[in-house]
């Protein structure tokens, strides 16, 4: 039972354009959401997060949007750069002493 | 400030053997989580340790066990290895304080191959 879903295994975007990565979750108890980025041969690194009390969080080129009623969140990268090419994992947790659940990831390729 | 380090980076074992993977947490962190990442999948939660006690476990059999030491370093032990145990094993440390345990800092992982 996959509680965090990323239905697009891969995404290809031109440099300078917007990248939109989507994520859906099934567990309504989740109230904290995170995005991680992973390069080959490295561990995932934290990118940006959002609490369920917000619907948007911005950090430079990265913005995460949360739609609680739809149990959907998205990561926007504007403008996309070739260095953004990586696998992006959506993750969710409850703000307690609880585990972080990851989605299967979306591989983003930014074409120069 | 040192990051999360894992050893070894690569390991080859045969079915039925036992393996121990090691992790040193980032300085100042008190919690360690272990994840298994199979090819093409996201990290799957194995278990978490806080103050040397198991503090949550995913859907993994008892032959997956762990330890956290007073210096917050950790081990993952897997007994009776099976072919499906072949995966990247990721250790992540974090600071659990108050009601939040948010940002995980990952090591580069140990790639385990079971033949």
pLDDT tens across A83-101, in order?
Answer: 999 999 999 988 765 788 9
Judged by CB atoms closer than 8 Å, whether chains meet at A95 and B50 is answered as no
What is the phi/psi pair of residue B43, to 5°? -60, 130
Question: Taking Cα atoms as reference points, which of A101, A88, A89 lies closest to residue A30?
Answer: A101
Contacts of B23 in chain A (CB under 8 A): none
Counting residues of chain B whose pLDDT is more than 90, the rounded percentage is: 73
Which one of A34, A45, A103 has the shortest CB-CB distance to B42? A103
A5 band by pLDDT with thresholds 50, 70 and 90: very high
pLDDT, average across residues B8-13: 96
Question: Taking Cα atoms as reference points, which of A103, A19, A11, A12 lies closest to residue A64?
Answer: A19
pLDDT number for residue B21: 98
What is the phi/psi pair of residue B83, to 5°? -55, -35
Residue carrying structure tokens 């992790």: B23
Instruction: Give, for A111, the enclosing helix (H) or strand (E).
Output: strand A106-111
Question: Taking Cα atoms as reference points, which of A107, A98, A92 lies closest to residue A24?
Answer: A92
B94 band by pLDDT with thresholds 50, 70 and 90: confident
B98 band by pLDDT with thresholds 50, 70 and 90: low
Q: Tokens for A42?
A: 């490295």
d(CA A49, CA B94): 15
Which one of A32, A99, A102 has the shortest CB-CB distance to B102? A32
B12: β partners: B113
Kindly report, residue by residue over B37-83, the tens digit of the pLDDT.
Answer: 998 899 999 999 988 999 889 999 999 999 999 888 999 999 999 99
Question: Taking Cα atoms as reference points, which of A88, A79, A87 lies closest to residue A112?
Answer: A79
Q: Which of A1, A23, A31, A44 to mutate to test the interface with B (most CBs of B within 10 A)?
A: A44
Judged by CB atoms closer than 8 Å, whether chains meet at A96 and B99 is answered as yes
Give yes or no for A93 touching B (CB within 8 A).
yes
d(CA A72, CA A61): 20
Average pLDDT, chain A: 94
In angstroms, what separates the C-alpha of A18 from chain B's closest C-alpha? 24
pLDDT number for residue B101: 54
Per-position DSSP letters for B37-54, written without gaps between them: E-TTS--EEEEEEETTEE
**From residue B50, how far is each of A17, B21, B41, B77, B95 by CA, in Å?**
43, 18, 26, 17, 9
How many interface pairs between A and B have CB atoms less than 8 angstroms apart? 66
d(CA A55, CA A65): 6
């Amino acid at each position: 039972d996959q509680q965090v879903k990323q239905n697009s295994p891969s995404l290809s975007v031109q440099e300078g354009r917007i990248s939109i990565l989507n994520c859906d979750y099934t567990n309504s108890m989740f109230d904290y959401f995170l995005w991680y980025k992973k390069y080959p041969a490295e561990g995932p690194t934290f990118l940006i997060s959002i609490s369920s009390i917000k619907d948007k969080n911005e950090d430079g080129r990265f913005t995460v949007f949360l739609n609680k009623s739809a149990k959907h969140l998205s990561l926007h990268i504007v403008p996309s750069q070739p260095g953004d090419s990586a696998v992006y994992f959506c993750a969710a947790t409850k703000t307690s002493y609880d585990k972080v659940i990851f989605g299967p990831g979306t591989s983003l390729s930014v074409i120069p | 400030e040192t990051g999360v380090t894992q050893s070894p980076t690569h390991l080859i074992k045969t079915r039925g053997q036992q393996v121990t993977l090691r992790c040193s947490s980032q300085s100042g962190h008190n919690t360690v989580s272990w994840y298994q990442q199979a090819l093409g999948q996201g990290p799957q939660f194995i278990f978490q340790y806080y103050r040397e006690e198991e503090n949550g476990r995913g859907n993994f059999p008892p032959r997956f066990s762990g330890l956290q030491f007073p210096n917050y370093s950790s081990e993952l032990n897997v007994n009776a290895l099976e072919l499906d145990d072949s995966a990247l094993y990721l250790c992540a440390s974090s600071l659990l304080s108050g009601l939040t345990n948010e940002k995980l800092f990952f090591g580069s992982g140990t790639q385990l191959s079971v033949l």
